[in-house]
Chains A and B, each alone.
Chain A
Amino acid sequence: MHPENQHSVAGGALPHPSDGYVAPHSHGPDEVPHTHPDPGVDPHEPLNSGPRALRVGIGGPVGSGKTALVAALCRALGDEMRLAVVTNDIYTTEDADFLLRNGVLPADRVRAVETGCCPHTAIRDDISANLDAVEDLEAALGPLDLVLVESGGDNLTATFSKGLIDQQIFVVDVAGGDKVPRKGGPGVTTADLLVINKTDLAPMVGADLSVMDHDAKARRGDLPTVFLSLVEDRTATPVADWIRGLVAARVPAA
């Protein structure tokens, strides 16, 4: 018998039995060499049982309306699904009071994450604080259907890590200039949904929506783009519908 074929469990802390688990055993000398998963290490992600919440990232430049979109989505979806928000923006008790006063979302459903002056790092390169916040929300509130992760205002190159979110929305506004879609950048080009916000301001800033639409299509191919005015549509209907579709596709109706 080869000593290296003998299996033993160190520390005595067995993981819960699973398909990959092999009880301590030994082999005859004629067996083909092979390995087993380390019994001291749980190979599974530490997730709650059942499907976890859909995580949607909302990014975009400063002032494009990310927080207003989050508030509109909470207004639209808060009564029909279990919802929580992680914000990476500089977040004040005033913001919390705003959400609370408008009956949009109770304070215990919002977590703020400090980003050390690097908003893109917190959503892309080192997502640990955001993952902690999502897990803390799920631990405190129980199973959720949807977690919105709002990034701090950043630039056109900021995107979310797939390790943090499932789908991402990029928000730009017409007042930022109608050339923004043409500039592209990973946010505009690759986001799962591009929101062009503040269309009500277009006549005042001389923005041509048809140019933005044309450029967005050229940049994004088949990926969807929606135009939005949160002044006129306080529940962000096209965005809320897009999220409803994602949640329905993810969690089979009970």
Chain B
Amino acid sequence: MVALDTQSHRSRPRVAFRLEGWAVFALAIALLVLAPVLAVVHPLITADKALWQHLVDTVLARYLVNTLVLMLGVGFFTFVLGVAAAWLVTMCRFPGVRLFEWALLLPLAMPAYVVAYAYTGLLDFAGPVQSFLRTALDLRPGSYGFPSIRNTPGAVAVLSLVLYPYVYLTSRASFLDQSVCVLEVSRTLGRTGWGSFTQVALPLARPAIIGGLALALMETLNEFGAVQFFGVDTFSTGIFRAWFGFGDYRAAAQLAAAMMLVVAILLLIERFSRGKGRIEHSSRRYSRLKPYVLSGGAAAAAALFCAALVGLGFLIPALTLLGGALEHLEALGQAEFYYDVWHSVSLAALAACVAVLIALGIAYAERLQPSPPVRAAARTAGLGYAIPGAVLAVGILLPLTALDHGIDALARLSFGVSTGLLLTGSAAALLGAYTIRFLAVALNTVEAGMARITPSMESAARTLGAPPSRTLRLVHAPMMAGSLFTAAILVFVDVMKELPATYIMRPFDYDTLAVRAYQYAADERLSQAALPSLAIVVFALAPVLLLSRAIARSRPGSTSDVVAGIAPRLEAA
């Protein structure tokens, strides 16, 4: 072996900040991401004591309690389901384990509101389950009680079923990493399997599990469609009602500010409980621990548990949607459906391109100048993921409306012409919202891809006469085409599924698949909501399949771009 003189590369030197093009770009994007948050926590809005008092007197307590109950419930169930599933598939062998390893991810393709519609349709009075029971048991309508799912426990169940994969994904990766390092030692020191799990594996996986939980909880906070449909009043639905129901923009903004407080606390808890959190494994040998081979009842129970998760979280709702869609095949003959598809796809594709380009620029800025301000800017740019869609919509629309009124007033004063509202309700504003919210997804994927290009590539290109922009275009971009594509797909699908920001911000009479499904469901026309819902799921399956392929091939110790993209780092600036 030759000793390598690579110290200067390894010890990331603290680079001094210089105000250059790429750094300015990263800082500008970071400001852009922060702008909507600043807009809703602006003192003009938060300082109105009378309005606060009114909110406190009327709705705030209910929103807060409902939101917290929802988060506690979803937190508990996603933790138990996700960690248990991850432990079973990494440490045990039972029939179907290779299949479950990736199939457990399928619920990721299901937006929570879609699952909510599906189960409601399945379990309500006219649905197949009750109809079957009535026929089979010869019951008369009204003579029996059947539990409703349109309440808080129902919302917790639905959200847990689609969000547990976040915890599953992160804890599985952590269990795989630690297997040989310590678990073998723990067992040779006389711990049983359960003892090893609770005393060694679980504490070691804590940072990863908390990361996954934080993601699941942010999705819970963001969720609008499902909780609205189930009649659970949370911050999201409250903002929505204030905005549309009462046209009270200031109340909507104050609720948004309160919601950002919950987000900030969540981020702080996440960061705090990770603590010095980066557990470095002392051993770099990756050979998998010999798994426990389950047999008989234990094997059946494990397989049943995993099958139940996949079935309840994906198969049953998907089949229900399919049934509903088949009932309304005539919708396929109507232009409306294709307009919806076109709107969804074009918005999602545009947002994906914009987000990936911006992410590429930021990742490259960070690479050219890893100075503290640029790194902080990159982390800030990734924070958009933590801003709930409803907050984002309010935070963007408020300043835009003010700007529009300003332009309109100016135009009337100077030219006597009313310009109307130029920016508010434009597709550009909506595109901006998508970009801010899903930039983190693109950024993490792109950063992971760029990290694999050795620094000597750009040194070579630079000394060969290519300035940074040319280097990025001719060397980095083609070399990381795969990562860029992955990032684009992830953003594309997230935009397709997005509901609250789309609903609030979309241009007049501009419907997408998500909006259409929501509107049908709001009119209690559940079987008609099935077709647009199913279309979303079909699109959303693409990245999940990509992800499961990556997982099937993944080796311990390596993180694929897809994993990096789905589980964005939640480091606060």
Chain A complexes with chain B: no
A residues within 8 Å of B by Cβ?
A: none
Chain B residues with CB under 8 Å of chain A are none
